[in-house]
Chains A and B, each alone.
Chain A
Amino acid sequence: MTEKEPLLSAKNLKLLREPLGQSNPITVQVLGICSALAITVQLKPAIVMTLSVIAVMSISNVVISLLRKMIPPRIRIIVQLVVIATMVILVDEILQAFAYEVSKQLSVFVGLIITNCIIMGRLEAFALANKPWPSFLDGLGNAFGYGLILIIVSFFRELLGSGTLMGYQVIPDAFYDFGYANNGLMVLPPMALVVVGVIIWVQRSKNKDLIEQN
Chain B
Amino acid sequence: MENLINIFVKSIFIDNMIFAYFLGMCSYLAVSKTVKTSTGLGIAVIFVLGFTVPINYLIENFILKAGALSWLSPSMADVDLGFLSFIMFIAVIASMVQLVEMIIEKFSPTLYSSLGIFLPLIAVNCAILGGALFMQEREYANIAEATAFGLGSGVGWFLAIVGIAAIREKIRYSNIPAPLRGLGITFIITGLMGIAFMSFMGIKL
From A27, A34, A107, residue with most partner B Cβ within 10 Å: A34
Which residue from A31, A81, A212 sits with its C-beta under 8 Å from B94?
Answer: A81
Given contacts A35-B126, A211-B181, contact A82 B87 (CB under 8 A): yes
A200 touches B130 (CB 8 A): no
- Write out the residue numbers on chain A whose beta carbons fall within 8 Å of the beta carbon of B87: 82, 85-86, 89
A155 CB, nearest partner CB in chain B, Å: 18
B102 CB, nearest partner CB in chain A, Å: 16
- Please tell me if A2 contacts chain B, counting CB pairs below 8 Å: no
Which residue from B129, B137, B186, B193 sits with its C-beta under 8 Å from A107?
Answer: B137
Q: Which of B19-27, B35-43, B49-57 contacts A (4 or more CB under 8 A)?
A: B19-27
- Write out the residue numbers on chain A whose beta carbons fall within 8 Å of the beta carbon of B22: 33-38, 189, 192-193
B195 touches A200 (CB 8 A): no
User: A27 to B187, alpha carbons, bound, how many Å?
Assistant: 10
User: A205 to B94, alpha carbons, bound, how many Å?
Assistant: 40
A39 CB, nearest partner CB in chain B, Å: 9
User: A197 to B191, alpha carbons, bound, how many Å?
Assistant: 9
Which residue from B130, B137, B179 sits with its C-beta under 8 Å from A211?
Answer: B179
Mark interface residues in A181-201 (1 if CB within 8 Å of B CB, else 0): 000010011111110111011
B26 CB, nearest partner CB in chain A, Å: 5
B25 touches A37 (CB 8 A): yes
User: A116 to B198, alpha carbons, bound, how many Å?
Assistant: 26
- Please tell me if A120 contacts chain B, counting CB pairs below 8 Å: yes
A114 touches B187 (CB 8 A): no
Give the number of A-B contacts (CB < 8 Å): 145
Given contacts A33-B29, A201-B180, contact A190 B126 (CB under 8 A): no
- Write out the residue numbers on chain B whose beta carbons fall within 8 Å of the beta carbon of A23: none
- Please tell me if A93 contacts chain B, counting CB pairs below 8 Å: yes
- Write out the residue numbers on chain B whose beta carbons fall within 8 Å of the beta carbon of A85: 86-87, 90
A30 touches B29 (CB 8 A): yes
Mark interface residues in B1-44 (1 if CB within 8 Å of A CB, else 0): 00000000000000000011111111001100000000000000
- Please tell me if B184 contacts chain A, counting CB pairs below 8 Å: yes
- Write out the residue numbers on chain A whose beta carbons fall within 8 Å of the beta carbon of B124: 115, 117, 120
Interface residues in A32-49 by Cβ distance below 8 A to B read 32-38
B54 CB, nearest partner CB in chain A, Å: 18
Task: Determine the residue in chain B with the shortest Cβ distance to A82.
Answer: B87
A180 CB, nearest partner CB in chain B, Å: 23
- Please tell me if A9 contacts chain B, counting CB pairs below 8 Å: no
- Please tell me if B188 contacts chain A, counting CB pairs below 8 Å: yes
Can you list 5 residue pairs at the A/B interface with Cβ under 8 Å? A30-B29, A89-B83, A190-B195, A211-B178, A212-B182
Q: Which 5 A-B pairs have the closest CB atoms?
A: A190-B194, A212-B182, A197-B187, A204-B179, A193-B191
List residues of chain A with CB under 8 Å of any chain B CB: 27, 30-38, 77-78, 81-82, 85-86, 88-89, 92-93, 107-108, 111-112, 114-117, 120, 185, 188-194, 196-198, 200-205, 210-214
List residues of chain B with CB under 8 Å of any chain A CB: 19-26, 29-30, 83-87, 89-91, 94, 123-126, 128-130, 133-134, 137, 172, 176-188, 190-195, 198
